[in-house]
Amino acid sequence: MRLTYTSDVWYKNAVVYCLDVETFKDGNGDGVGDFHGLTQQIDYLAGLGVTCLWLMPFFPTPNRDDGYDITDFYSIDPRLGTLGDFVEFMRTAHDRGLRVIADLVVNHTSDQHPWFKEARKSKDSPMRDWYVWSDTPEPDDPSQVVFPDKESSFWEYDEGSGQYYLHSFYRHQPDLNVGNPEVRDEIARILGFWMELGLSGFRVDAVPFLIENVNPKLADPHEFLQDLRAFMTRRKGGSILLGEVNLPYKDLTGYFGDGLGDQITMCFDFVGMQKAWLAMARQDARPLAAALRERPKPPKDCQWAMFLRNHDELTLDKLSEEERQEVFQAFGPHESMQIFGRGLRRRLPTMLGGDLRRIKMAYSLLFSLPGTPVIFYGEEIGLGENLDEEGRMAVRIPMQWSGDGGFTQGEAAPVREVPEGAFAPDRVNVADQKRDTNSLLRWFQLLIERYRECPELAWGDSTVLDTGHHAVLAHRCDVDRATVVVAHNLCDTALDVEVTLAGLERCQLTDLLVDDTLEVADDGTARLPLGPHGCRWLRASPPEVPPEDASVKAQ
């Protein structure tokens, strides 16, 4: 059967918006964002045009890793509200047509989780085997440690019970042992619980860590991912796993489920993301073009998730040392901006020097690259960072709703401080940008609207085109005889490039972002004039067909 409707595989051209309830909107004046506040902003999110919200962890937590250290998977952090508030939020989101997914952090728990407290009581504890223990710290490579500022090993000695436990991240985050079938069942129960409350899927934290280093080793670690996905599909068709799998392409395809596509539904394109930053640093599109050409096509019904920034550092771990230094030089030269020796704790607009043209080009690129765009709250208004906040928290600052901040109405100090200066709330906020047709917020709305109108971008076969100029990335996306051609100028001088568009001879190219039309010549060539950091999204249509009718329609 050939039939697939875009809405059956909704995630393939979704627009995913990641937010932390804690920093989005405070509804009760205690300085901490909450579900009540978030619910009040649902119309803002629906108006922006995003189609799926990804909530960062909202579970009870001692908060030593911003909620990625969980003490109860079946409840809500009381600072953020109650289960009742959560359900009200879900109801409102669904009413506005928004799907919701949540972070699934089951590689580890907090060391304060009752399971770990029980497990560490003694070697004979009935829950001992829920975690990974060893009599000796297994040899490990300190250079592989994820948080080298705080840790130098994956193993921590537990005085009380006289063994070492595994922690892939901080020592207060002991790894769960998915080698134990009871743990695997419990994880399925957690998924089932939140799906019953309306979630459409999960962003799976640290996937490779989750399935490796378990005891006993799983005969096929990927079978566990298959089982999880199958379980979810049985419960609710169309539910997804969005995986944090930061691996080179060749090692990553197995996480989709080679050929079958029966494991992680969407994987973040960490390699493409890092090459995009290298390309922007060099004002040379070739590193990104090469990554796109090399990137494997995901199995049917799977998809790449595209992003430029997220809640973590901008990791540059897949670049060579030299390339990383180039990006550091261009976008984060001061040591205070760098972290873990591999990344930058900055948001995009500050890195691009607040240059609105360049920022708009970067997001146009993000939305037009083949895949599903994922944005981090505040990107739509050009939120900056606050380097005074600790480590990765620099980018997890309160959302700026109005000139006076607008995150909280209470007297209590907000959970984190907003930046001062050029990125302070009086300079960067939602209310002002709503009234300004030239604002970044309006640009996001346009990009999202066009992206949704052009399923070709997400669905189509994409081809990187030769442009004859290193600074320009051009690609075309084709599906069912409909074509969108996209071009981005990564440098700050105007350029006129020529591309050859096989099969589109004599077509019209209608610009979808500004009022303009270009022609494809008889020999299939087209000239694309691009301003400094200019971008174009062009719909191809034969002369006798109105451009609107040449597009693939969502069904």
**Catalytic machinery residues:** 205, 244
* The two three-digit tokens of residue 126, written as one number: 């009935």
Q: Which is nearer to ligand GLC, 57 or 419 (CB)?
A: 57
Q: Which residues pair with 409 in a beta bridge?
A: none
Q: Can you read off the two tokens belonging to residue 76?
A: 């809500």
Q: Which residue is nearest to ligand GLC (CB)?
A: 68
**CA 190, 11, 344, 402 torsion: positive or negative?**
negative
505 CA to centre of own chain? 37
Helix count and strand count (H, E) for the chain: 17, 22
List, edge to edge, every strand of the sheet that includes 314-315. 314-315, 343-344, 338-339
CB of 522 to ligand GLC, least distance (A): 52
Q: Which is nearer to ligand GLC, 68 or 115 (CB)?
A: 68
Kindly state the smallest distance separating residue 57's Cβ from ligand GLC, in Å.
8
Could you give the residue ranges of the DSSP H alpha helices within 295-438? 321-331, 348-351, 356-368, 430-434
Q: Least distance in Å: CB of 248 to ligand GLC?
A: 17
Q: How far is 108 from 210, CA to CA, in rounded Å?
A: 8
Question: Taking the complex as a whole, how short is the minimal distance between the CB of residue 237 and ligand GLC, in angstroms?
Answer: 28
- Cα separation, 400 vs 477, whole angstroms: 36
Binding site for ligand GLC (CB under 6 A): 65, 68, 105, 169, 205-206, 244, 311-312
- Nearer to ligand GLC by Cβ, of 244 and 284: the residue is 244
Q: Return the number of the residue (66 or 186) whose C-beta is nearest ligand GLC.
A: 66
Q: How far apart are the C-alpha atoms of 330 and 99, rounded to whole Å?
A: 37
Contact call for residues 59 and 67 (beta carbons, < 8 A): yes
* Beta strand 472-479 pairing with 372-376: unpaired
Residue 191 CB, shortest distance to ligand GLC, in Å, is 17
Q: What are residue 195's DSSP bridge partners?
A: none
Alpha carbons 113 and 283: distance in angstroms, whole number: 48
- For the chain, give the number of residues: 555
Give the pairing type, strands 343-344 and 314-315. Answer: antiparallel
The C-alpha atoms of residue 307 and residue 379 are separated, in whole angstroms, by 11
Smallest gap from Cβ 309 to ligand GLC, in A, equals: 12
CB of 65 to ligand GLC, least distance (A): 5
State the minimum distance, in angstroms, from the CB of residue 277 to ligand GLC: 18
Q: For residues 304 and 270, give the distance between their C-alpha atoms in angstroms, rounded to a whole number.
A: 10
On whether the CB atoms of residues 520 and 540 are closer than 8 A, the answer is yes
Say which DSSP state 418 is in: P
- Cα separation, 91 vs 85, in Å, equals 10
Closer residue to ligand GLC (CB): 105 or 314:
105
Closer residue to ligand GLC in complex, CB, 170/194: 170
- Of 295 and 311, which has the nearer Cβ to ligand GLC? 311
Say if CB 2 and CB 550 are below 8 A apart: no
CB closer to ligand GLC out of 184 and 311: 311
